[in-house]
């Protein structure tokens, strides 16, 4: 599990600071931020303070669409707590934690509040079998229900020591900027992160860019390579992924797994199949390196939050001080900001145009494929009807069936 250097240099670790001292530092940071125009920094420190007082260990599972995040969580807890249908994508975070009996709830802002602060949300119980209606793109497109999150309580040994797993909306890809923002907003609430990518290909540039961005918020990260049962060349992809992770941080672990094998092993009670799934190593990592070192991880992430907030404040104050010391340079500074804003807007427009072009191209490709498929099937149908007209196919039905299947394949 990769993490960053704690404040104070190599001679001072977070263990040298008590939890009460850290809490006081965070409270001082909240006072320093005050009620100014950096409400985002105050919210982050509020989340930090709540996380510091929370005895559970929160691990967020992130990745692009259809990489196997939700099924990974289902395989970890051996229960269908997250929707995994091919046409269903997660639209809001789903928090999975220990609880008896098994139950589910949605977290919604209290009347008159649009804040996701836990103190300003209320829990509404829902049927656990109907949870997909609330947390998926199919039932809640673009989170039109304005949910903060969903919560699933389930009695499981892996969760018994305080491990909490968070399923997040997919990041990256077309039209998913709101999902990426939702996931980035949820990152400060977690102590560690699992980056999920399947074995169909090595890490993409957007995935690595997201990882670098996320590690500024969560310093403790592990990689998960999913769907190893579907791709025979997964070991080559694993090698490429490890080399890319090493460029970001030397100690980011990577776990190749198959969720389908894990679920099948649980159904058959087959320890050999479970070992083949790769999950025992991942479960051991969660228990020993995350739950077993929860206090250390929590304090590191708190220190990371404090460093990030103070750096943001420093930059803001430095800009204000520069404007006061050099009033004549203010127009130049404003012009620079306007130019940067214009460039950012232009990049967004280019991205939007590219996405439209790509969508149009994909639409044309699908239409061509459908036309070609229909044409081929009509040709097979004509040949089959001609063969039937020429004589009774019953006498050679096995050969006829084999020919038909071969043509259709």
Tens-digit pLDDT profile for residues 184-223 = 777 877 889 999 999 999 999 889 988 998 888 887 899 9
Instruction: Tell whether 305 is covered by a domain.
Output: no
Is 170 in the same domain as 224?
yes
Confidence at 16, pLDDT banded by 50, 70, 90: low
Per 3-state DSSP, what percentage of the chain is helix, strand, and coil (rounded to 5)?
60, 15, 30
pLDDT of residue 88: 61
pLDDT digits (tens, 9 = 90+) for 287-298: 999 999 888 888
Is 71 in the same domain as 165?
yes
Q: What count of residues does the chain have?
A: 409
pLDDT of residue 232: 92
For 96-133, give the DSSP string. EEE-SS-EEEEEEEPTT-----GGGEEEEEE-GGGTHH
Instruction: Tell whether 46 is covered by a domain.
Output: no
pLDDT digits (tens, 9 = 90+) for 68-107: 999 999 999 999 998 876 556 677 889 999 999 999 999 9
- Which comes out higher in pLDDT, residue 49 or 158? 158
Instruction: Tell whether 330 is covered by a domain.
Output: no
Q: Which of 271-280, 312-321, 370-379 has the highest mean pLDDT?
A: 271-280
**Poorest-confidence range of 36-40, 125-129, 369-373?**
36-40
Domain limit, last residue, from 292, 322, 352: 292
CA angle 180, 222, 70 (to 5 degrees): 55
Provide the strand spans (E) within 309-365.
none
pLDDT of residue 325: 76
Q: Is the pLDDT of residue 50 over 50?
A: yes
Local structure of 225: helix, strand or coil:
strand
Is 275 in the same domain as 369?
no
For 195, the token pair is 């980056």
| CA-closest candidate to residue 310, choices 14, 27, 36, 33 | 33
- Which comes out higher in pLDDT, residue 1 or 251? 251
Cβ distance 1 to 221 under 8 Å? yes
Local structure of 256: helix, strand or coil:
strand
Domain limit, last residue, from 258, 274, 292: 292
pLDDT of residue 13: 47
Mean pLDDT of 114-141: 77
pLDDT of residue 180: 64
Cβ distance 207 to 236 under 8 Å? no
C-alpha to C-alpha distances, 171 to 27, 30, 110, 254, 353, nearest whole angstrom: 32, 30, 27, 19, 19
pLDDT of residue 161: 92
| CA-closest candidate to residue 384, choices 369, 406, 363 | 406
Is 248 in the same domain as 351?
no
C-alpha to C-alpha distances, 242 to 144, 171, 225, 250, nearest whole angstrom: 38, 21, 10, 9
Q: Is the pLDDT of residue 173 over 80?
A: no
Q: Is the peptide bond before 229 cis (omega within 30 degrees of 0)?
A: no
Parallel, antiparallel, or unpaired for β 57-63 and 94-98?
unpaired
Domain extent for 122: 55-292
pTM across the whole model = 0.72
Instruction: Tell whether 39 is covered by a domain.
Output: no
Instruction: Tell whether 309 is covered by a domain.
Output: no
pLDDT of residue 175: 42
Is 378 in the same domain as 279?
no
Q: How far apart are CA 169 and CA 179, in angstroms?
A: 6
Is 253 in the same domain as 112?
yes
pLDDT of residue 7: 46
Q: How far apart are CA 70 and CA 93, in angstroms?
A: 11
Q: How far apart are CA 222 and CA 293, in angstroms?
A: 14
Q: Residue 209's domain is classified under what CATH number?
A: 3.40.50.300
Q: How far apart are CA 241 and CA 144, in angstroms?
A: 36
Is 132 in the same domain as 243?
yes
Q: Is the pLDDT of residue 268 over 90?
A: yes
- The number of distinct structural domains making up the chain is 2
Local structure of 228: helix, strand or coil:
coil
Show Cβ contacts of residue 291 under 8 Å, excluding neighbours closer than 6 positions.
57, 161, 162, 163
Instruction: Tell whether 62 is covered by a domain.
Output: yes
pLDDT digits (tens, 9 = 90+) for 138-171: 777 777 788 888 999 999 999 999 999 999 887 7
Is 123 in the same domain as 264?
yes
CA angle 23, 302, 91 (to 5 degrees): 120
Is 245 in the same domain as 371?
no
Is 178 in the same domain as 280?
yes
Instruction: Tell whether 123 is covered by a domain.
Output: yes
Is 274 in the same domain as 349?
no
Q: How far apart are CA 82 and CA 196, in angstroms?
A: 15
User: With 0-12 CB in 10 A as exposed, 13-18 as middle and 19+ as buried, what is 133?
Assistant: middle
pLDDT of residue 221: 93
pLDDT of residue 115: 53
Eight-class DSSP state of 64: B
Cβ distance 62 to 182 under 8 Å? no
Is 210 in the same domain as 278?
yes
Mean pLDDT of 254-268: 96
Domain limit, last residue, from 257, 292, 327: 292
pLDDT digits (tens, 9 = 90+) for 304-352: 888 888 888 888 778 777 777 777 777 777 787 788 888 877 776 665 6
Instruction: Tell whether 388 is covered by a domain.
Output: yes
Average pLDDT score over the chain: 82
């Amino acid at each position: 599990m990769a993490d960053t250097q704690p404040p104070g240099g190599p001679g001072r670790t977070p263990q040298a600071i008590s939890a009460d001292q850290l809490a006081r530092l965070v409270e001082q940071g909240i006072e320093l931020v005050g009620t100014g125009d950096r409400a985002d920094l105050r919210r982050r420190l509020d989340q930090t303070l709540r996380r510091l007082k929370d005895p559970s260990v929160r691990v967020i599972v992130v990745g692009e669409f259809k990489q196997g995040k939700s099924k990974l969580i289902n395989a970890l807890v051996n229960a269908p707590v997250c929707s995994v249908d091919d046409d269903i994508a997660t639209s809001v975070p789903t928090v999975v934690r220990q609880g008896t009996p098994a139950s589910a709830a949605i977290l919604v802002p209290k009347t008159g509040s649009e804040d996701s602060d836990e103190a300003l949300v209320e829990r509404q119980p829902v049927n656990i079998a109907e949870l997909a209606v609330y947390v998926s793109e199919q039932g809640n497109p673009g989170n039109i229900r304005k949910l903060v999150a969903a919560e699933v309580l389930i009695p499981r040994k892996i969760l018994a020591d305080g491990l909490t797993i968070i399923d997040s909306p997919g990041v990256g890809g077309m039209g998913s900027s709101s999902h990426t923002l939702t996931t980035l907003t949820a990152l400060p609430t977690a102590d560690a992160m699992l980056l999920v990518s399947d074995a169909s290909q090595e890490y993409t540039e957007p995935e690595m860019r997201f990882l670098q961005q996320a590690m500024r918020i969560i310093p403790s990260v592990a990689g998960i390579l999913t769907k190893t049962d579907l791709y025979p060349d997964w070991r080559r992809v694993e090698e490429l992924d490890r080399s890319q992770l090493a460029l970001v941080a030397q100690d980011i672990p990577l776990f190749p797994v198959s969720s389908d094998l894990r679920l099948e092993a649980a159904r058959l009670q087959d320890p050999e199949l479970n070992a083949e799934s790769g999950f025992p190593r991942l479960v051991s990592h969660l228990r020993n390196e995350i739950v077993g070192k929860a206090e250390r991880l929590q304090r590191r992430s708190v220190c990371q939050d404090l460093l990030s907030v103070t750096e943001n404040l420093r930059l803001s104050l430095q800009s204000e001080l520069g404007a006061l010391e050099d009033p004549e340079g203010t127009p130049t500074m404003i012009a620079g900001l306007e130019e940067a804003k214009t460039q950012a807007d232009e990049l967004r427009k280019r991205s939007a145009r590219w996405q439209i072009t790509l969508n149009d191209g994909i639409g044309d490709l699908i239409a061509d494929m459908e036309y070609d498929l229909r044409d081929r099937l009509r040709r097979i149908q004509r040949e089959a009807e001609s063969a039937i007209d020429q004589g009774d196919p019953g006498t050679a039905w096995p050969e006829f069936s084999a020919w038909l299947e071969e043509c259709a394949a």
